[in-house]
């Protein structure tokens, strides 16, 4: 049975807290399976100018969402931009948030690794250069560079290349680094059906030899990149693995999670 009553959304930054029960809040929070930071947008209505001045670029921002009695973290990142505009009598402040710092400028000139260096060693060292904790690392194969390895350029690209040599995906989520395949890992399984929040019929897709379904559900903060979903629907019943998607939050409209899940 669906027991999703009482929408909850709360935004926290710089000792400020904005809750949906006091403020009109809208948000779009994307997630995917690559190393490029995702940018979320949060809109908050009718804030005082003094409050807006305290929402600063570069500061950490976190957002929780869910339902009364079941709320969890959906965003942890850094404010990249703040804009305020008027629409009629309403003053709307848009806060843009990257789910990690801008890592494109984190580069290394050249680091030479000795013969027989393992990929896991290179990945762990590169992770220290971008300052992200490794939340999970499970390599399909810990590739051994028998002739050594030379790392140069953008650190995230180096990590992606080395992970690819291991047959493993890498992505950033909630300001943490994950090196693991979507279909592996110790993720909890979420059962999704009409009785647990599935909205509409799954839409089948196929690209690059990958098959899956586009799904939509009532907002579920537990679902993010690599989440395991046991889907029950007329179109398909079985296990799928989330590749990308977004949470959409409004007070009276969408309060949903959309996802692209592969078989």
Q: Is position 44 within any domain?
A: no
Q: Is position 15 within any domain?
A: no
Overall number of domains in the chain: 1
User: pLDDT for 207-242, tens place per residue?
Assistant: 878 899 999 999 999 999 999 999 999 989 999 999
pLDDT for res 3:
47
What is the full DSSP assignment across 112-151?
Answer: EEPTTEEHHHHHHHHHHHHT--EEEE--SS--EETT-EEE
Q: Is position 94 within any domain?
A: no
The whole domain housing 166 covers 107-179
Mean pLDDT, the chain, whole residue set = 93
CATH of the domain at 114: 3.55.50.10
What is the full DSSP assignment across 186-251?
Answer: -PPEEEESGGGTB-S--EEEEETTEEEEEEEEE--TT--TT-EEEEE-SS-EEEEEEEEEEEEE-S
pLDDT for res 2:
44
pLDDT for res 1:
39
Which two tokens mark 162? 């080395």
Q: Is position 142 within any domain?
A: yes
Helix, strand or coil for residue 1? coil
Q: Is position 140 within any domain?
A: yes
pLDDT for res 101:
78
Q: Is position 81 within any domain?
A: no
Least confident of 41-45, 91-95, 204-208, 255-259: 204-208
User: pLDDT for 27-66, tens place per residue?
Assistant: 999 999 988 889 999 999 999 999 999 999 999 999 999 9
What phi and psi values does residue 136 have, to the nearest 5 degrees?
Answer: -160, 135
Give the mean pLDDT of 64-80: 95
Please give the share of the chain, as a percent, with pLDDT higher than 90.
Answer: 84
Q: Is position 155 within any domain?
A: yes
Q: Is position 133 within any domain?
A: yes
């Amino acid at each position: 049975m669906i027991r999703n009553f009482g929408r909850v959304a709360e935004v926290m930054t710089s000792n400020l807290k904005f809750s949906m029960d006091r403020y009109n809040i809208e948000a779009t929070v994307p997630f995917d399976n690559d190393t490029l930071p995702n940018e979320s947008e949060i809109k908050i209505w009718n804030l005082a100018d003094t409050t807006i001045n305290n929402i600063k670029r570069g500061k950490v921002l976190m957002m929780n969402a869910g339902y009364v009695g079941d709320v969890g973290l959906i965003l942890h990142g850094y404010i990249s931009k703040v804009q305020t505009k008027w629409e009629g009598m309403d003053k709307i402040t848009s806060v843009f948030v990257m789910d990690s710092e801008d890592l494109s400028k984190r580069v290394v000139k050249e680091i030479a690794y000795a013969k027989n260096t393992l990929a896991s060693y290179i990945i762990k060292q590169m992770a220290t250069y971008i300052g992200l904790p490794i939340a999970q690392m499970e390599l399909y194969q810990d590739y051994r560079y028998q002739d050594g390895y030379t790392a140069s350029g953008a650190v995230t690209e180096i990590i992606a290349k080395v992970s690819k040599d291991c047959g493993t995906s890498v992505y950033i989520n909630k300001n943490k680094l994950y090196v693991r395949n979507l279909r592996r890992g110790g993720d909890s399984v979420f059962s999704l059906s009409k009785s647990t929040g599935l909205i509409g019929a799954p839409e089948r897709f196929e690209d690059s030899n990958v098959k899956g379904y586009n799904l939509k559900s009532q907002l579920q903060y537990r679902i993010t990149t690599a989440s395991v979903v046991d889907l029950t629907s007329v179109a398909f019943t079985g296990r799928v693995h989330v590749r990308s998607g977004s949470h959409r939050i409004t007070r009276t409209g969408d309060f949903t999670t959309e996802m692209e899940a592969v078989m």
